[in-house]
Structure 1
Amino acid sequence: MNLFDEPWIPVRWLHGQDGPDSVSLRDLLGRCQDIEALDIPLAAAHAALLRVLYALTARVSGLDEDPDGSWINWRASILKDRALPQERIEDYVSRWHARFFLFDGVAGRPWLQDPRLAHECTDSSGVNKLVMTRPSGNNHSWFGHARDSAPHWIAADTAVLYLLMWHYYGAPGRCTARTLDGERISDAKRSPLHGSLSYHPEGDSLLVTLLAGLVRPAIEVRPEEDLCPWEREEPTDPAGAPPVPVGPCGWWTDTSRHALLLEPDAGGEHVTDARITWAYHLSGAFDDPYLIWERTLVKRQGEQEEVRFARPAKPNRALWRDLDGLLRHRPPEAEGEATTVDPPKVFETAVVLTDQLRVRALGFDQDRARNSQLVSGLTPASVGHLTDQLADAQVAVGRLRRLGERYGENLADAVRKAWALYTRGDPKEAGKLVPQAEALYWPAAEREFWARFDRLDRTGEDPDGGLDILGAREAFLRLARDAYDHTTRPLTRTVRGSQAVVEARGLLWKTRPKRKNK
């Protein structure tokens, strides 16, 4: 199975365009202007594949370097042509065709796999370990039931998606032992996106999505140095430090901390087994232009130290609550908060291409021991107008988000206090009342947020960004009051319960104190 030739990527075609449900890499690059979007059900695989496609798009378009500072204009000209250069696509496919076989292949270099594992790993990991949504070993069943004693083979095209998920979302800790220089080592480092949520600009076609998702390389970056793993002459040395990417292609594709080798059936149509182990024994640096990075000060050994971490994927957190983390201009009242936010770098250049962009969030809720839930979201409205030239609109988005968060937090506090006053117990043990109140409030608050977002100023003429701050405050407060009244109604059946509900209700109007660094 060669990934350039065989269909394996599910896509959704634009209205009026016909095509198969799945396409090969060659067809995807050649017809991305006719495709609306990828149609991959696994959010983590979607995020991983996008990074591979960014690298291929940069290669075949010449946007993998910017020696004369014309990168922005060259990208705009490709969008104007409404297609990636077909000749350059064929040149790249011809050059690297042998490196895109899923199994062994002509050159003995299966795609994104390490053939050395065939003799360096005496034990296999099993196909259930490869499929990250299956339980393996003694782990609990989160997504479905499967047994290591009777594993189900998976189709080769599906295996590619899990191969990508392991490279980007693989867990740290114990893994299948790999023998290196006579020493058996079975401890892997965390994959670069493990547990995180990434944010991608999305246009009205896959061509726009891929071009908007590219990151401008520094002037000194050269394609012959900024390599993808399949472009290296020889596999990297697992005994050494991981390669340090020097440009976007390396950051997109060469930061994995896991090594894999898939085993096919006789016909090459299914994967029957897999070896999954560590790729490097030493740690290495990592950055990613699609993550929201949070920075906070912590005390260690009596001294303050800044800690930087990617915003994690949370399945119960709606995308609009993270939207102001994508903006470069934040409300003045956000200054001095304990945690500062660095927005994804990709949006610095994405909005220059077009103002008709939405944001797709993709991630995986994980910890060291388990994979809990895939996370996916898409903004219903275009956010491309929130450029640096519309700083007031960006500030308005931040204020609108803060209002929604404020009354959601007030609601939770009020419900906890009402329960504690009624039961004379600990507010932290409010049982199911808080989730019930939040289930009523947050979906309604999300609808209110996007309705008001659509009415924000797109001209730059309104110093308030088009935000009716008083109207927004009253709208979110009304939603919190309604949720509070509905949730606490059972408590009002007694005198003490009624008194508790009335006394705690005042917390809905509470002003949240600013959390400052100490």
Structure 2
Amino acid sequence: MFNVVIEPFIPVTYHGESQPRHISITQLIIDAHLIVDVHGPSPVAESGLLRLLYAFTWRIATRIAPDLADIDLACDEPRTWFKVRNDLLEAGRFPPEAIDEYFTASGHCWDLVDNKRPFLQDKRLADDCVSKTTKKVKGQKQSTTTPVTSGINKLEFERRSGNNEMLLFSHHTNHNPTPLSLDEGFWAILSQLNYAAGGKNTPRVISSGVAKSEAFNAPARRGISFHPWGKNLYTTLIAGLPAFDDTFGRPDPHLPFPWETADVAPVGPQLEPVWPHSAWTRSWTHAVLLVPDSNRTSFIDGYLTTAVTKNIKGAPDPYMVWEEKKNDTAPRKMSTGRALWRELDAVLTVAPRRRQPSVITDLAKLPSTLRSQFGIRTYALASDQARNDQWDSVTFPGLTHYLEQSDPTAAGRFARTVMIIEQVGRTLERVAYNTWVAISGNSTRKNESGSAPWKMLTEPVMAAYWEHAENLFWSHISTNDDDTVWNAVVRSAFESLASLLHHHRRTHPGAAALADAWSRLWAEKPRQPKRS
């Protein structure tokens, strides 16, 4: 048995301590007011844990403050609903008896290796993921079925498996896969349910012998997640509970979570959006089952396949930035090599055809003394359909001052600083290319091998620029003078280029190219940066 709420395997940092302790989920929630951070083995695992903790928090918080789950209040009296939530924040901690009451309630299954209801897993996969062969024996047809597993490497997010050309992989092979410990299995399940790739997965027989292998991207894979991050884990979890709005579909705050019911959702179209469950568990598109060894001390195999046959348009994830694209909306995604601070203006400021994460804008409903205690934690995965390129997690403290719903003037300065830095970056990339052509005499975009020789200059120039730009960003977001920001950013951009060409400064082509670069960088100064 591995009870996920009792086993002490979650790394956390307590206030005043530098080294993490490993504690149980139950103890984590009891001590949430003393804990400043929670750690996962990777950003995707940690992000999955945070969403799970929100669900636990919801159940415990609604025991303390039943009005939080009052549908009429949530739908028709949002100001009163926020007052209930704010009162919880000011209470400062969870009562231990409410925590114990929830985690010991009958009917909940917390065992990761339970024979009938393994935690967050679908036991049906052992029967659904099979191959059927028919052969004649003594003139009669006989059919046999053989389990078709995904392999344990497929379940572990950091391992390479099959055709997954993962750049974030450890050195494991399918020929002799290393088993997962039980706690590693827990993290693997959370990672896959929230971040698994769509496309071809292990085939699953869904009805009348029809097998389906195509899956849809897991919900958190679709974009960057932004979470309120308080002075301790208690405030972080309470502030992360999203308020109801019409985009959520119907409210049903008492709907059972997967571990609260023996009923497993039937395989069919994706479940309709429901508040608040769609933010945490109801939008999952994959089904997982880990296979333990005979002693139930590790996982040696597993299944990862589709849980839905049709992807419906769900509620916008309250932790993501949503942007209008053509006739649809989509979450903002992480781009490989793009630092997450460059996404903050979309989180904090208002713009046409863009929706801020609602849990961040909800911070404006807090009293200023509480609001100032919050920062923003980000989780992101840069990926294509089959490959995971880069993941990242960053905490940005003290940014709620720049939230447009709280201080439009400060938000405007914040947005202008970001836009100046972005505009100079675009200009610098063009200027660096022109400089390469002037010095090398080679204007070829791609050579015979398909490579772009000019990137030998532009890529290190841009890397240097963005590294310096982050420091400029933090030192100028409160500057009220665009000229001051512009001058500092342009000079930094030129130095990023010139420092890589110091050997060419004394040559005529090099000196001329750098003089031209200097002029071009200054020439595109906007009179009034426009917010997009």
Q: Which amino acid aligns with 1:321?
A: R
CA contact (8 A) 1:125 1:273 kept: yes
Structure 2: unaligned runs, 5 residues or longer: 63-67, 130-146, 446-451
Deviates more, 1:487-496 or 1:340-349: 487-496
Paired position in structure 2 for 1:295: 324
Paired position in structure 2 for 1:302: none
Q: 1:87 to 1:366 in 2, by over 3 A?
A: same
Q: 1:308 to 1:193 in 2, by over 3 A?
A: same
Paired position in structure 2 for 1:508: 521
Cα separation, 2, equivalents of 1:310 and 1:389: 24
Q: 1:387 to 1:96 in 2, by over 3 A?
A: farther
- What is the CA distance between 1:378 and its match in structure 2? 1.9
1:432 partner SS: helix
Q: Which amino acid aligns with 2:496?
A: A
CA contact (8 A) 1:356 1:384 kept: no
CA contact (8 A) 1:9 1:22 kept: yes
1:82 is aligned to 2:92: yes
- What is the CA distance between 1:268 and its match in structure 2? 2.5
- What is the CA distance between 1:429 and its match in structure 2? 4.5
- What is the CA distance between 1:315 and its match in structure 2? 4.1
Q: 1:190 to 1:389 in 2, by over 3 A?
A: closer
2:112 partner SS: coil
RMSD of aligned residue pairs (Cα, Å): 2.5
- What is the CA distance between 1:384 and its match in structure 2? 4.6
CA contact (8 A) 1:492 1:498 kept: yes
CA contact (8 A) 1:173 1:187 kept: yes
Paired position in structure 2 for 1:144: 170
- What is the CA distance between 1:212 and its match in structure 2? 1.5
Q: 1:17 to 1:145 in 2, by over 3 A?
A: closer
Task: Give deviations 1:61-119, integer Å, cap 9, x for gaps.
Answer: 013445333322222222222112322222221226642211125xx211111101111
Among 174, 195, 209, which residue is 1:182 paired with?
209
- What is the CA distance between 1:500 and its match in structure 2? 2.7
Q: Which amino acid aligns with 1:11?
A: V
1:444 is aligned to 2:468: yes
Paired position in structure 2 for 1:234: 263
Task: Give deviations 1:40-72, integer Å, cap 9, x for gaps.
Answer: 231111112111111111111013445333322
Cα separation, 1, equivalents of 2:355 and 2:318: 10
CA contact (8 A) 1:358 1:384 kept: no
1:268 is aligned to 2:273: no
Cα separation, 2, equivalents of 1:351 and 1:84: 23
Cα separation, 2, equivalents of 1:207 and 1:363: 23
Q: 1:380 to 1:94 in 2, by over 3 A?
A: closer
Cα separation, 1, equivalents of 2:386 and 2:243: 37
1:67 is aligned to 2:72: yes
1:111 is aligned to 2:119: yes
Q: Which amino acid aligns with 1:383?
A: T
Structure 1: unaligned runs, 5 residues or longer: 298-305, 457-465
Q: Which amino acid aligns with 2:162?
A: G
Q: 1:200 to 1:248 in 2, by over 3 A?
A: same
Paired position in structure 1 for 2:140: none
Q: Which amino acid aligns with 2:196?
A: G
Q: 1:138 to 1:469 in 2, by over 3 A?
A: closer
Paired position in structure 2 for 1:223: 253
Cα separation, 2, equivalents of 1:60 and 1:250: 18
Percent identical pairs in the alignment equals: 30
Cα separation, 1, equivalents of 2:381 and 2:473: 25
Task: Give deviations 1:416-442, integer Å, cap 9, x for gaps.
Answer: 111122324146751221121122211
Alignment TM-score, normalising by the size of structure 2: 0.85
Q: Which amino acid aligns with 1:132?
A: F
- What is the CA distance between 1:493 and its match in structure 2? 5.0
CA contact (8 A) 1:199 1:344 kept: yes
Paired position in structure 1 for 2:134: none
Paired position in structure 1 for 2:143: none
Cα separation, 1, equivalents of 2:200 and 2:166: 19
Q: How many residues align?
A: 485
1:247 is aligned to 2:275: yes
Q: 1:384 to 1:164 in 2, by over 3 A?
A: farther
- Trace 1:422-433 onto structure 2 (pairs within 5 A): 422=439, 423-426=441-444, 429-433=453-457
Q: 1:429 to 1:17 in 2, by over 3 A?
A: closer
Paired position in structure 2 for 1:129: 154
CA contact (8 A) 2:150 2:302 kept: yes
Deviates more, 1:503-512 or 1:478-487: 503-512
Paired position in structure 1 for 2:133: none
Paired position in structure 1 for 2:9: 8
CA contact (8 A) 2:166 2:389 kept: no
Paired position in structure 2 for 1:463: none
Cα separation, 2, equivalents of 1:184 and 1:389: 52
Paired position in structure 2 for 1:406: 423
